A = this chain, B = another copy of it.
Amino acid sequence: MVTLEDVARHAGVSLATASRVLNGSARQVGAGLRAKVEQAAAELGYRTNVAAQTLARGAGNVIGLVVHDLVDPYFAAIADGAVRAAEAHGMVVMVGTTHRDPAKEIAYVSSLGAQRARAVILAGSRTDDPSAAGLRAELDRYRNGGGRVAVIGQDLLGTDTVAVANRSGAAALAEALTAMGHRHFAILAGPPRLITAVDRCEGFAAALPGPAPQIIHGPFDRDGGHTAAHSIGPDVTCVFAVNDVMAVGALAAFRERGIRVPEDVSLAGFDDIATLRDLVPALTTVRLPLADLGARAVELALADDDGPTVVHVEGEVVIRESVRAR
């Protein structure tokens, strides 16, 4: 491994000069020496040792991203946006997947702290229960060490956050559906303590003028939607799944039972997952700028503002074939 010192010697300059041209920011080196150094570096095949650099500088160039599941297109899209934004800032991202295990989430934050990561981005909403205390403590520790934290979802950790307007988005969807003549709804509501799910569910229900909707809880994924769909009451004309992936599960369940969408029942989701755009019937949903969410979180975490900043992101109702007017 060739070191900076090798380069300096080879170029006949001091270590400091070599450092300045190869890594330093303010370019205060004469053109002659600069060229010599650059050539020497090229000839020797020098590579910066990031570990040494990080140690000396006291700050690294990694951004940590913690998601539940990369296979879930929701998180994949967020990760994509985050990676792009990080790259634009000359940072690299380290991803951790928790598969919904709170302990792993904590472990990742801890690990990222050890890496002296510049920032950590948490995607996937925190569940409302006490186990979150551990995470909170770990995050505080991380921040005390000088790290920045940004959360995608809701503002409840007192950090920078990209807040998704789940309530109002769901409400807007409810209104659109109501305007199309629907009165009897069922909500595939997801886990009773998952804040994102609860917000969407409540926002939707609260905006309904007619009778209270049937609420069916279950897992936040495809199979959760599939299972929940089996419990839907007979007079329901429109089903709202709190995310697109669940809606897909519901769609499959309906198909299995010979229930046609949208002829027999209308169906709507939330997120507008791109990979699902070719589904038939096309899913009515609330579009979220997923990649943006990730990118903005990175921007927030990297901006050196003082207090926690909260950015609000609205969804947009998109009516497609899976819903039919009554």
B96 adjacent to A47 (CB under 8 Å): no
Measured in the bound complex, the distance between the Cα atoms of B63 and A94 in whole Å is 10
A14 at the interface (CB under 8 A from B): no
Q: Which residues of B contact A280 (CB under 8 A)?
A: 255, 280
* Bound complex: CA A252 to CA B279 (Å): 9
Interface-forming stretch among A51-59, A152-160, A161-169, A311-319?
Answer: A51-59
Q: Tell me the complex Cα distance, A288–B80, Å.
A: 23
Instruction: Check B49–A116 contact: CB distance below 8 A.
Output: yes
Instruction: Pull 20 A–B residue pairs with CB atoms less than 8 Å apart, ordered by A.
Output: A1-B145, A47-B114, A47-B141, A48-B114, A49-B114, A49-B116, A50-B115, A51-B60, A51-B115, A51-B116, A55-B55, A70-B70, A70-B79, A70-B80, A71-B274, A76-B76, A80-B97, A84-B97, A92-B111, A92-B115
Contact with B along A244-272 (1 / 0, CB 8 A): 00001101100100000000000000000
Q: Is A309 an interface residue (CB 8 A)?
A: no
A79 to B93, CA, bound (A): 13
Instruction: State whether the Cβ of A33 lies closer than 8 Å to any Cβ in chain B.
Output: no
Could you say which residues of chain B place their CB within 8 Å of the CB of A51? 50-52, 54-55, 60, 115-116
Distance in angstroms between the alpha carbons of A222 and B77 in the assembled complex: 16
Lowest 3 A-B CB distances belong to which pairs?
A51-B54, A51-B55, A76-B76
Are A95 and B97 in contact (CB-based, < 8 A)? Answer: no
**Dominant secondary structure at the A interface:** helix
Q: A116 with B50: in contact, given A94-B62, A255-B280 (CB under 8 Å)?
A: yes
A299 at the interface (CB under 8 A from B): no
Q: CB within 8 A of A95: which of B95, B251, B255, B279?
A: B95
Digitize A85-116: 1 where CB-to-B-CB distance is under 8 Å, 0 elsewhere: 00100001111110000000000001101111
Q: Are the CB atoms of A76 and B71 closer together than 8 Å?
A: yes
Which of under 10, 10 to 19, 20 to 34, or 35 or more describes the interface residues of A?
35 or more
Closest residue to A60 on the B side, CB-wise?
B51
**B92 engages A93 (CB within 8 Å):** no
Known contacts A49-B116, A96-B83; is-contact A70 B76 (Cβ 8 Å): yes
Query: Which of A50, A73, A111, A279 neighbours the largest number of chain B CB atoms within 10 Å of its CB?
Result: A50
Interface 1/0s, chain A 25-58, versus B by CB < 8 A? Answer: 0000000000000000000010111111011000
In the complex, what residues of B have CB within 8 A of residue A55's CB? 49, 51-52, 55
Contact A249 B278 (CB under 8 A): yes
Determine the chain B residues whose CB is within 8 A of the CB of A255 once the complex forms.
280
Chain B nearest CB, measured from A71 CB (Å): 5
Residues from chain B with a CB closer than 8 A to the CB of A146 are: 1
A48 to B55, CA, bound (A): 12
A175 at interface (Cβ–Cβ under 8 A)? no
Partner of A71, one of B60, B80, B94: B80
B62 touches A275 (CB 8 A): no
- Which residues of B sit under 8 angstroms from A52, Cβ to Cβ? 51, 55
